[in-house]
């Protein structure tokens, strides 16, 4: 286990390499949770995530002999870019093994940092095995994304920055996948301030740390099913499990639906674009069962493709009640569509999409089904629309929730 000066030395080591990401106070998440909420925007970090910290710290601490051998890592995302960037900065060879179907944008980003990319296998586990084979064949030094003392030491520098800026912080919320980030932050934070609470946040569909704590040992989940792909880890690191047991106060899980809602709020209210795994702590803010505390949510990364951004915004709008789709049965006669339009107009609901289908309703011969999508101001507005339709004699069925 590390001492405080280990993290302080790591911070010195990273001084010229990283961006010092300043805390951002969040009025919207403070109001939602009843706490004073601050965001630590590691999505603005070099390479777009916190991973540069651990990767650089690990590689910089290698001996001259080890550096000559070069490094190897397996990753489909942020760790790949962190290792590639760190190796380029230190002038040593880096090989990154990625699954064959890794999005081209991530492959190219890794290559741009000067790494040799090997595409192998269908999933991360295949790439990991291939990386171990290449390590044995070529004598490379393996840089693990989380199950590594030097890597978690680098990640822990985030805690020092948080507590320098906000010494009286009560709680730090941290994304939890393999456990490297939460291990480093929890250890460094507790060494600097033993009273602080550190809470890990996992996706509901991949809660491998929670499963390990419940069993008392590291376990492998049957599946990791979540949109937070950066934390879709079936098995946490053995080293990390020891740190979590000793330093982490609690673990909260967050659903994919909660992530969608949080994504929209971050974009709309803070102009922050972050990846799904990076916003786990922000989604967990309103699940804290305490009020009036100073809470820091670590936004761990921002590497997300444009199509996913579009999908997350649309789903977030639905989750927040800002998009409302419903169906209504109308008599098949002139003027009915006009009545519906007038109701919506009086309720200030902006029509986005309309589908008038004479052939869809087979159960009631003289009726047609109208499907409508409108832009609304939230759940209260939606209920007013539903009530107004009822008063006018129309039963409407909500088609999204």
Q: Are 222 and 301 in contact (CB under 8 A)?
A: no
Q: What is the reported pLDDT for 104? A: 80
pLDDT one-digit tens code per residue, 139-161: 999 999 999 999 999 999 999 99
Residue 35 lies in a domain: yes
**Domain residue limits at 124:** 70-138
Q: What is the reported pLDDT for 303? A: 87
- Indicate whether 273 and 370 sit together in one domain: no
Q: What is the reported pLDDT for 23? A: 98
* 51 catalytic per annotation: yes
- Indicate whether 276 and 215 sit together in one domain: yes
Helix (H) or strand (E) holding 250: strand 250-254
In this structure, the number of other CB atoms found within 10 A of the CB of residue 308 comes to: 15
Q: Are 78 and 109 in contact (CB under 8 A)?
A: no
- Tally of structural domains, the chain: 3
Q: What is the reported pLDDT for 32? A: 93
- Indicate whether 269 and 190 sit together in one domain: yes
Residue 58 lies in a domain: no
Give residue for tokens 């709020």.
Answer: 265
Percent over 70 (pLDDT), the chain: 97
- Indicate whether 208 and 300 sit together in one domain: yes
Cα first-last separation, the chain: 47
Strands, E, within 100-143: which ranges? 116-119, 141-142
- Indicate whether 133 and 162 sit together in one domain: no
Q: What is the reported pLDDT for 366? A: 58
Residue 61 lies in a domain: no
Name the domain boundary from 304, 335, 361: 304
* CATH at 20: 3.40.50.1100
| Active-site residue, from 26, 208, 300, 315 | 300
- Indicate whether 246 and 165 sit together in one domain: yes
Q: At residue 363, does pLDDT exceed 90?
A: no
* CATH at 351: 3.30.70.260
- Indicate whether 176 and 286 sit together in one domain: yes
What per-residue string of b and e applies to 325-350 under the rule 16 or more CB within 10 Å gives b?
A: bbbbbbeeeeebeeebeebbeebebe
pLDDT one-digit tens code per residue, 100-137: 888 787 888 899 999 999 999 887 778 889 999 999 99
Structure tokens at 11: 């911070």
- Indicate whether 171 and 232 sit together in one domain: yes
Name the domain boundary from 138, 168, 196: 138
How far apart CA 190 and CA 188 sit, in angstroms, is 6
For the residues 359-368, what does the mean pLDDT come to? 58
Residue 59 lies in a domain: no
How far apart CA 370 and CA 359 sit, in angstroms, is 11
- Indicate whether 88 and 110 sit together in one domain: yes
Helix (H) or strand (E) holding 265: helix 256-270
Residue 53 lies in a domain: no
Name the domain boundary from 138, 173, 193: 138
Residue 64 lies in a domain: no
- Indicate whether 88 and 237 sit together in one domain: no
Residue 312 lies in a domain: no
Q: Are 186 and 248 in contact (CB under 8 A)?
A: yes
Q: What DSSP letter does each residue of 155-181 carry, written as one string?
A: HTHHHHHHHHH-TT--EEEEE-SSSHH
Considering the chain, what is the average pLDDT of its residues?
A: 91
- Indicate whether 173 and 275 sit together in one domain: yes
* Nearest one of 69, 76, 82, 129 to 101, comparing CA atoms: 76
Q: Enter the pTM of the model.
A: 0.84
Q: Are 302 and 49 in contact (CB under 8 A)?
A: yes
| Active-site residue, from 51, 190, 192, 315 | 51
Residue 314 lies in a domain: no
- Indicate whether 153 and 271 sit together in one domain: yes
């Amino acid at each position: 286990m590390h001492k405080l000066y280990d993290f302080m030395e790591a911070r010195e080591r990273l001084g010229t390499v990283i961006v010092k990401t300043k805390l951002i106070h969040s009025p919207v998440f403070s109001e939602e949770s009843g706490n004073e909420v601050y965001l630590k925007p590691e999505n603005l970090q070099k390479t777009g995530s916190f991973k540069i910290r651990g990767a650089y710290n690990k590689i910089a601490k290698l001996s001259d002999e080890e550096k000559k051998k070069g490094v190897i890592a397996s990753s489909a995302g942020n760790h790949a870019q962190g290792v590639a960037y760190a190796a380029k900065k230190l002038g040593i060879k880096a090989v990154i093994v990625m699954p064959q179907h890794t999005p081209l944008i991530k492959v190219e980003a890794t290559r741009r940092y000067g790494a040799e990319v090997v595409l192998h296998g269908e999933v991360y586990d295949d790439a990991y095995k291939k990386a171990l084979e290449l390590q044995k064949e070529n004598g490379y030094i393996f840089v693990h994304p989380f199950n590594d003392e030097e890597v978690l030491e680098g990640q822990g520098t985030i805690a020092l920055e948080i507590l320098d800026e906000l010494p009286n912080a009560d709680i730090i919320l941290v994304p939890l996948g393999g456990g490297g980030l939460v291990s480093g932050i929890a250890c460094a934070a507790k060494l600097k301030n033993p009273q602080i609470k550190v809470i890990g946040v996992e996706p509901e569909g991949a809660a491998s740390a929670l499963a390990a704590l419940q069993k008392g040992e590291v376990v492998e989940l049957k599946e990791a099913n979540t949109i937070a792909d950066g934390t879709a880890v079936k098995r946490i690191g053995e080293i990390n499990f020891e740190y979590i047991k000793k330093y982490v106060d609690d673990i909260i899980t967050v659903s994919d639906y909660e992530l969608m809602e949080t994504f929209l709020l971050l974009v709309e209210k803070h102009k922050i674009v972050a990846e799904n795994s990076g916003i786990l702590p922000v989604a967990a803010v309103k699940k804290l069962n305490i009020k009036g505390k100073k809470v820091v949510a670590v936004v761990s990364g921002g590497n997300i493709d444009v199509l996913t951004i579009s999908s997350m915004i649309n789903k977030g709008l639905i989750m927040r009640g800002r998009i409302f789709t419903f169906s209504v049965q109308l008599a098949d006669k002139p003027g009915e569509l006009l009545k519906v339009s007038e109701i919506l107009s009086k309720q200030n609901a902006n029509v986005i999409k309309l589908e008038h289908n004479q052939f869809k309703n087979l159960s009631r011969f003289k009726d047609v089904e109208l499907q409508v999508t409108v832009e609304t101001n939230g759940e209260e507005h939606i209920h007013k629309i539903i009530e107004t339709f009822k008063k006018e004699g129309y039963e409407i069925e909500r088609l999204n929730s």
